[in-house]
Amino acid sequence: MSIKNNIAIFQQELGAKNCKLIAVSKTHPSESVKEAYDAGQMIFGENKVQEMTSKYEVLPKDIQWHLIGHLQTNKVKYIAPFVSLIHSVDSLKLLEEINKQGEKNDRIIPCLLQIFIAQEETKFGLDEVELFLLIQSDILKSYSHIRIEGLMGMASLTGDENQIRKEFRNLRRIFDELKTKESSNVQMKELSMGMSSDYKIAMEEGSTMVRIGTAIFGKR
Ligand SMILES: *Cc1c(COP(=O)(O)O)cnc(C)c1O
């Protein structure tokens, strides 16, 4: 299947359920991104700052770039001028820096909080206690150049569908609970969960954004 065909199929499948497609183009060349763009795909996900900025520079400026990988505070400045959404925010320290860079660039930077839902110990993200402390902190409320628009999570890398479903369902529950804690810069409208191998389960459990790499661009 061509990239063009894959985009068409995903857009049709997701559009019917009001779920957004994030085409994860990490490690694939700009030519592949352009091919997907020409097929009508506007949102692309990258996990590395350097790779995202390089592609941003050579590709059409109406592409929306989402950062989906772990972000170091010293690299926020490189993406702050153009990033559309940062999916992987997992500390107040990082939010402080994003807010600072948002102010420098005279814009509000949309963010998702990454929540740890998997069994593996290597995955980044906040646990539930840290999340509720962060959401309710007064410092967060003073950050006027960020907007938290929802949550992101990755399920365990397992073939056990019940386990994956349980983890996504748990994230959905947290998302719903946080709707009662919204404030001026915290809204719960996006739930980023699901990748090539588990996006169908994620959508059944209420995902509003899926991050698809392999199933669009092929193996990395
Ligand atoms: C690479 C990546 C994806 C896409 O994974 P595929 O299995 O290729 O669809 C999604 N989310 C994150 C955070 C990733 O790093």
- Distance from Cα 121 to the centre of ligand 1, integer Å: 17
Q: How confident is the model at residue 122 (pLDDT cuts 50, 70, 90)?
A: low
Check if 216 has its Cβ closer than 6 Å to any atom of ligand 1.
no
Spans of all domains in the chain: 3-217
At 57-82, the pLDDT tens digits run 999 999 999 999 999 999 999 999 99
Check if 195 has its Cβ closer than 6 Å to any atom of ligand 1.
yes
- Angle at CA 177, nearest 5°, toward 10 and 174? 55
- Distance from Cα 46 to the centre of ligand 1, integer Å: 9
pLDDT over threshold 90, residue 36: yes
Are 115 and 171 within 8 A, CB to CB?
yes
- Distance from Cα 47 to the centre of ligand 1, integer Å: 8
Give the burial string for 170-198 (b: 16+ CB within 10 Å, else e).
Answer: bbbebbeebeeeeeebbebebbbbbbeeb
Ligand 1 atom closest to the CA of 24, numbered from 1? 4
At 140-193, the pLDDT tens digits run 999 999 999 999 999 999 999 999 999 999 999 999 999 999 999 999 999 999
Are 23 and 45 within 8 A, CB to CB?
yes
Ligand 1 atom closest to the CA of 88, numbered from 1? 13
Topology classification of domain 3-217: TIM Barrel (3.20.20)
pLDDT over threshold 90, residue 121: no
